[in-house]
Structure 1
C-alpha cells in the first residue's frame, strides 16, 4: 500500500550526507552505563529489582526516568531489518530482553545541526535487562541479531513545525545499502507527560480497531517533485481467539513483521513493568489484595500456563504464549503460572482506590499460599473503584525515581 504526502519544499527534501563509519564499540557484559561518540547516544542503568522467587518472579524491570510510556516489540526467529529508520520527533529508550543473544546496533548521525553529521558507529553487546540504550531523535538506526529478542521502548516525544515531521508516523526510512543518508530537521519541543499519555491512549484506540502493519516513510521523487511516500506491508496477524472463559482478551498491537508485533498499552496508566519469571510445575498460588493485573507473555524459552481459581473454587487453566493476548487477574483472585523455563511477562496494573498506607503499596500487595491451602477467590465487586490512570502513572514514575536514587 503506497500513500503520498503533500510535497515539501524541494530544498528541505534534497539534503543527504555521505556516511562515514568512525568506530565500533564492544560493550562488556557487566557495563550498564556508557557514553558513545555520537552526541546523546548512551547506555543508562535500568531500574531493576530482584524478585523474592516465592511465585517465580526472579527480577522486576520497572520503568526508567522518562515519561513512563511502555511499548514492546517482539521479533520472530528470522527477523531482519532491510532499512535504517530516523525518528524526527522521538528519542528511543530501548531495553532488550532475551536469552543471551548478541546484537549489533548501527547508528548514523543525520541531524542537520550536528557537528558529526554523517558519522556512523556500530555497538555490539549482549541483550540485558539491566541497561537502556538511548537513541536521540535524528539518529538513524538499525539492528542485527534481534531474532527472539523483546524490546521495550519508553519513548520521549517532541513536537514542532517541521517539514520532516508527520505526526501520524515520524519515522523516515532508507535502505541499509544506500551510500548516503537523509539529513533531517528534528523537533525541538518536548511534550509534557500528559501529552505523552494522550498520544499513548490514541495509539491504543487506533490499534484496537485496526491491527494492520506498521508503515514506513521514504523520500521519493514523483513527477519531478520531492515528497514522502508511505509504504505499508500487507501483513495480517493470525489472531487467536480470546479464551472462552473470558480470562484472556485481545491486546492492542500492530505488526512489524509477519509474526512480529508492537504491543502498546492496554490500561489508562499507559505504563507497565516487565517480570522475569523462572517457571516450575509446582509453584504456589498468589493473589493481589488491592490491585488487578493484566499479564502478557512477551517471549522466553517456553510458553506459560496460568491457572485461575474463581469465586466458586473452580480451577481453570489457559495457555499464555501469544503476545497479542493478555490475561486479566481481578483483585483477590488466586492464580499461578506454571511451566518449565524462563519467560518475560508484561505486567500492567490497576490499583484499587483505597486509603493509602503500608498495607496498600504500589505493586506490593501479594499473598501466597500452597495449592492445598487455596480457597475460593474474592468475587470482583461492582463497587470496586480504581485510581485514575494518570494517578497510577504518576505513582509509577515517583517509584522509578526513588529506585534510581538508591542505585546511585
Structure 2
C-alpha cells in the first residue's frame, strides 16, 4: 500500500517538507529586456545539459543517487507545467519514506537541489532542458578500505518502480564526503573516453535479493548506434575559424540525452525571454572564444550575422549570414575578434562555456572585454584580439570572483561597451555604460 504524497501548490514559496530538498534562488543580471537575463554558473567542474525531446516525456520510475547531489535549473516555456515526485530514502532521516509531489514552471531564476538518497522522478519534461551543476560525494574512506561499501561511480544510481508500496521502499546510506576537483576531472575523463563507444541507453539498476544478500544489477538496453546528424566539425564558409563543433552525447531515449560540458571555464546561460529578441549591435569579444549551445523550440529559425574584425585576418571584414535551428548536440565556436549579431532568439536559451585569452601583458578585463558595435555603423573596426590562452589558475580565480559577486545585490544591467574616438588625438577608448537598477536583497548564494 502507498501513502498519499504531500502536495505543494504551484509557485508556492513554502519550504519543501523533505530535509535538504529545496529551491535555491539564482543570481542573474538583466540583459537589456525585462524578461531576458544572463545567469552565471560559477564552477570549474563539469556540468550536464539534459534534453528530453519534444514528445511526451516521463521517466516511468524513481531514481536515487547515492553519491550525487542534483542541482537542476530548468529552461523551457514559461507556461509549461512540470510535476516532480520525491521519496526520502535516507537511513536515519527524520523524513524517511515521506512522499512529496510538486508542480512547477521552468525558469532560470531558481535551481532545484536534490540531496543524495532522495528518490525523484519527473513528468512532462518534453520541450524542457535542464542544466545539472551536480555535486559529487564519496563514501567514508574507512568504509571503502574495509570493503563495507559496494558503491562505485558506475553504480551510483538505483531505480525502483513508481508503484512500489511503502513497506518495499529502499533505505539507503548516501555518501557524505565532498569529492575533490581531481575526482571530478577523473569522472569527466572516463565519460569522454566511454561515450564514443556506447551502444546502450542510459542504464537502469535494480537491487535484487539473492540467498539473503542484496546484489545491485545494472540493466542496459542495447540500441542500434545511430550516426549523428552533425559532422564532428562543420566550418562556416567565409570567415576563418568559425564553425559548428559536435558535442559528445549520451542518448537516454529516441529524443533524449545528456551532454557533458567540460570545464575549466565557468559557464553561463543567456535566457532571451519570450518577447522578440534581436540584436541591433554586433557583440565583439577580444579575449573570449564563445562556445555557444542553443536550446529551445525545434522549429525556430535563428539568423546569425557574422563579421570578421580581426587585424591581420585573411577574411578581414568579410560578412556572412547563416540560419540554424536550436539543438543541444552541437555548439558554435566564434573566435575572439569576430563580430556577431542574432535575430529571433526569443524562447531560445544560449549556454556558453567559453575559452579565454589574455593580452600580451597577461591582463584581461571581463567588464570591458566585449564591444557593442551598431550593425549599420561603418567603417567597421579593425581590432587586435588577445592571443595568450588562459590557464587553470585564471579560471579558478574567475569562478571565485563570480561566486563572490553572487553574494551581492544585483545593481546593474549587463554593460554596453562602446568605442569612442578622441577628435584631437584620434586615440580610441572603450567606455562601459551600465544601467543602474533598483537593487533588492540578493539571493542567499548557493556557492559558499
Q: TM-score scaled to structure 1, two decimals?
A: 0.83
User: Shift of the alpha carbon at 1:380?
Assistant: 7.1
Structure 1 residues 81 and 293, CA gap change in structure 2 (3 angstroms): same
Structure-2 separation of matches of 1:25 and 1:181: 22
Of the structure 1 ranges 396-405 and 249-258, higher mean CA displacement relative to structure 2 is found in: 396-405
Paired position in structure 2 for 1:196: 184
Paired position in structure 1 for 2:267: 272
Where does 1:62-211 land on structure 2 (aligned, <5 Å)? Answer: 62-63=40-41, 69-77=46-54, 78-100=56-78, 101-160=80-139, 161=144, 163=149, 165-179=151-165, 180-207=168-195, 210=198
Structure 1 residues 208 and 238, CA gap change in structure 2 (3 angstroms): closer
User: Shift of the alpha carbon at 1:222?
Assistant: 6.2
Structure-1 separation of matches of 2:15 and 2:162: 25
Structure 1 residues 318 and 203, CA gap change in structure 2 (3 angstroms): farther
Contact 1:237 / 1:255 at 8 angstroms: preserved in 2?
no
Partner of 2:191, secondary structure, is helix
Q: Quick one: which of 314, 319, 328 aligns to 1:315?
A: 319
Partner of 1:294, secondary structure, is strand
User: Shift of the alpha carbon at 1:334?
Assistant: 1.0
Contact 1:57 / 1:275 at 8 angstroms: preserved in 2?
no
Structure-1 separation of matches of 2:295 and 2:150: 33
Q: How large is the RMSD of aligned CA atoms in angstroms?
A: 3.0
Structure-2 separation of matches of 1:389 and 1:237: 36
Paired position in structure 1 for 2:6: 23
Of the structure 1 ranges 193-202 and 73-82, higher mean CA displacement relative to structure 2 is found in: 193-202
Question: Structure 1, residues 338-368: CA drift from partner, whole Å, max 9, x if none?
Answer: 23632011111111133576xx333652212
Contact 2:44 / 2:396 at 8 angstroms: preserved in 1?
no
1:233 and 2:221 correspond? yes
Question: Structure 1, residues 205-240: CA drift from partner, whole Å, max 9, x if none?
Answer: 433564853212211356886422212234545512
Partner of 1:341, secondary structure, is coil
User: Shift of the alpha carbon at 1:134?
Assistant: 0.8
Question: Structure 1, residues 147-179: CA drift from partner, whole Å, max 9, x if none?
Answer: 111111111101113635221241111111222
1:386 and 2:383 correspond? no
Of the structure 1 ranges 286-295 and 214-223, higher mean CA displacement relative to structure 2 is found in: 214-223
Contact 2:248 / 2:329 at 8 angstroms: preserved in 1?
yes
4+ aligned runs moved over 4 Å, structure 1: 208-212, 221-225, 235-238, 278-282, 376-381
Partner of 2:401, secondary structure, is helix
Partner of 1:206, secondary structure, is helix
User: Shift of the alpha carbon at 1:318?
Assistant: 4.8
Paired position in structure 1 for 2:428: none
1:45 and 2:25 correspond? yes
Contact 2:286 / 2:384 at 8 angstroms: preserved in 1?
no
Contact 2:84 / 2:103 at 8 angstroms: preserved in 1?
yes
- Structure 2, unpaired ranges of 5+: 237-241, 410-441, 444-448
Structure-1 separation of matches of 2:394 and 2:214: 46
Where does 1:191-340 land on structure 2 (aligned, <5 Å)? Answer: 191-207=179-195, 210=198, 213-221=201-209, 226-235=214-223, 236-242=225-231, 243-245=234-236, 247-269=243-265, 271-277=266-272, 280=277, 283-300=280-297, 302-310=300-308, 311=313, 312=315, 313-316=317-320, 317-339=322-344
Structure-2 separation of matches of 1:158 and 1:318: 43
Larger radius of gyration: 2
Structure-1 separation of matches of 2:201 and 2:49: 15
Partner of 2:24, secondary structure, is strand
Structure 1 residues 363 and 238, CA gap change in structure 2 (3 angstroms): farther
Q: TM-score scaled to structure 2, two decimals?
A: 0.76
Structure-2 separation of matches of 1:201 and 1:344: 27
Partner of 1:71, secondary structure, is strand
Structure 1 residues 184 and 194, CA gap change in structure 2 (3 angstroms): same
Partner of 1:96, secondary structure, is strand
Structure-2 separation of matches of 1:145 and 1:128: 15
Structure-1 separation of matches of 2:307 and 2:196: 29
Contact 1:95 / 1:132 at 8 angstroms: preserved in 2?
yes
Partner of 2:403, secondary structure, is helix
Question: Structure 1, residues 302-334: CA drift from partner, whole Å, max 9, x if none?
Answer: 242333334423333252422111011111111
Structure 1 residues 364 and 132, CA gap change in structure 2 (3 angstroms): farther
Contact 1:83 / 1:173 at 8 angstroms: preserved in 2?
yes
